[in-house]
Amino acid sequence: MAEDFGHVLGDRIRRARKRLGISQTELARICNFSAHQTIVQIEKGQREVKAWELAALAKALHVRISDLVLASSEEAEPIILWRECPEEGKELIEADFRKHCMDYSTLEKLAGEDVGRDLPSVNVGTTKEDFSYRAAAELADIARRNFDLGSMPAGSLEGTLENSYRIKIWYRDLSSKGSAASTKGTFGCGILINSKEPPWRRNFSFAHELFHLLTWDIFPPESLSDKALFDKVESFANSFASSLLLPSDTVKVAFEKHIQNKKVTYTDFISIARQFGVSTEALMYRLLILGCISKQVVEQLKADSAFRDLDRSTMSANWWEPPPIPERFVRLAFTAYTKGNLSRSKLAEYLNTSIAALTDTLMEYGLDDREDYEAKMLNARC
């Protein structure tokens, strides 16, 4: 039995290594093993793996130890559906994202917050073959109502997805070529966002990825290897995002409010885009579809350097950087710790910090592990 497990463990390590696209020599170097033959023997099941070696391997392969030693790790890995892939390190980013989603789910259980609403399957009465832009717009209207996003959804979309529907949201620098990704697994739903994009671009990415999660069964990720279908579905996702973030009635009212003598100033146009939390480009194309401006106006705006300069000049006042670790993730980890379900060292590990720096890390998120969090009786009236 032990010999069989050695072969199983070795095979899991080999497959995890190959997913990351690294050699046995490189893995040995990352783990500080003296020779790459150690990896060769482990992967062949010819060598017993020490506890510290297993921990080093899991860290280097961006998986949990349980993923290597438990039988459940034989389950198929969740597919990561990319909007735009980063040019380098895709495999490593995907491995990290999967691990973060699994850790997120574990912390929900340890904190007692694993019971809640799952993202609903929204039926617009259509199939993959006859899905249309009209169906995408209808789906956006349904989602806005069902999720109670209000008339300007950008301001509440991320928080609603994260807190009400337990979608695992993670930010990462995906370079200028990477945009966003989504996934589904035993942990629920996950969204990965490029932290270096402007806030209004991130809002659009959230809405775009929400479309994929809502239509996961209509357009299974494995079917999107067909380039023509992928491009078509991406176009549907963009249309959905535009309709969701820029509700037709609200946008028309906001636009008409600024019209004077059938004209709108550049400042007013940019102000409307910031008000709805979208880029000026997203706003101009939405207004074009709604018949509020002509294609000639769109081309004029795109070609006008004065408009672009004015647009850029307003960006810094509306810019914000996402935290390195999601606030909900940190809160869940801290709650699990205060309930005694997570050790201090494990808390530090989840928050990617040292035990010595743990207090400072928590205080960056408004949490203080020096306070007395023992349960106290509270007076309550029903």
Q: Identify the residue whose tokens are 């000049």.
A: 313
More confident of the two residues 97 and 178 = 97
More confident of the two residues 15 and 143 = 143
pLDDT of residue 2: 47
Q: What are phi and psi of 292, to 5 degrees?
A: -85, -25
2-75 sits in which CATH class?
mainly alpha
Alpha-carbon gap, residue 309 to 327, rounded angstroms: 34
pLDDT of residue 373: 56
Give CA separation, 34 vs 25, 27, 55, 59, 76, in Å: 10, 11, 16, 17, 33
Residue % of the chain over a pLDDT of 70: 93
- pLDDT band with cut points at 50, 70 and 90 for residue 48: confident
CA max distance for the chain: 83
How is domain 102-245 classified at the CATH fold level?
Answer: Arc Repressor Mutant, subunit A (1.10.10)
Domain range annotation of the chain? 2-75, 102-245, 248-318, 324-382
- pLDDT band with cut points at 50, 70 and 90 for residue 1: very low
The amino acid sitting at 256 is E
Q: Degrees (nearest 5) of the Cα angle 156, 159, 165?
A: 115
**Does the structure show a pLDDT above 70 at 121?**
no
Query: Can you give the pTM of this predicted structure?
Result: 0.83
**Does the structure show a pLDDT above 70 at 3?**
no
